[in-house]
Chains A and B, each alone.
Chain A
């Protein structure tokens, strides 16, 4: 069974601070995919990043960066110089890559971390 744990339920930071959102996952698959989604107050789920299990290179996109460490089964997300517009709930998700059978490729989500950026 797959499981995603986001231990931080809520985080508050002051604008311009850096913040890291933790994500720990469990899976028996050797090939899998990890995702981060953002859910702003308006409610939609916005895709941020997809990473496959063979690619452990860290990724940076503007103020966002992701640290994937297979050894600790973690896929953490850092926002540098946070802004008020970053306030949202952030979800980490895991998907298998079996490609067949019931449940294949479905996303298993963590419970989310609510980030509040205070001006």
Chain B
């Protein structure tokens, strides 16, 4: 049963610390998304990659957030330094985009981040 795997599931960290969230997309998918979910803003796109190349990261605070795909099986989202307002659930999703349109994006279980 193919699924998107995110680690860690939960993370509590102190303000100012670096946080790295990892995502293993579904094998063969060529697009990876990072979303953040908060009560106030709902689900917001932070960044997305196609064929490992970053296509859009306009949703990320550039000074502290960075997203990478070192290889096709790993996507990372890093926050340095973390702040309390970064507390949220971070979702990774992957999908297969073809010339005729996109398929559904499959979501991981999310990383619940709490910055104290």
Contacts and interface: CB of A to CB of B under 8 A. Distances in A.
A73 interface: no
Interface string A92-107: 0001010100111111
A97 B56 contact: no
A112 B9 CA distance: 22
- The dominant DSSP class at the A interface is loop
Interface residues of A, number: 27
Interface in B74-116: 89, 91, 93, 95, 97, 99, 101-110, 112
Interface in B5-61: 31, 33, 35, 42-43, 45, 48, 55-56, 58
Nearest to A37: B107
B91 A45 contact: yes
A37 B95 CA distance: 14
- The dominant DSSP class at the B interface is strand
A45 B56 contact: no
Contacts of B89: 43
A95 B102 contact: yes
Given A43-B110, A99-B99, A106 B104 contact: no
A44 B4 CA distance: 11
Contacts of A95: 102
A43 B89 CA distance: 9
Contact of B45 (A35, A37, A97, A106): A106
A110 B58 CA distance: 19
Contact of A106 (B42, B56, B107, B110): B56
8 contacts: A35-B104, A91-B43, A97-B102, A102-B58, A105-B95, A106-B56, A109-B43, A111-B42
Interface of A: 31, 33, 35, 37, 42-47, 50, 52, 91, 95, 97, 99, 102-112
Given A43-B110, A107-B93, 4 more contacts: A44-B110, A45-B93, A105-B102, A112-B42
9 closest A-B pairs by beta carbon, nearest first, are A45-B107, A109-B43, A102-B56, A105-B102, A47-B104, A44-B109, A111-B42, A50-B104, A97-B101
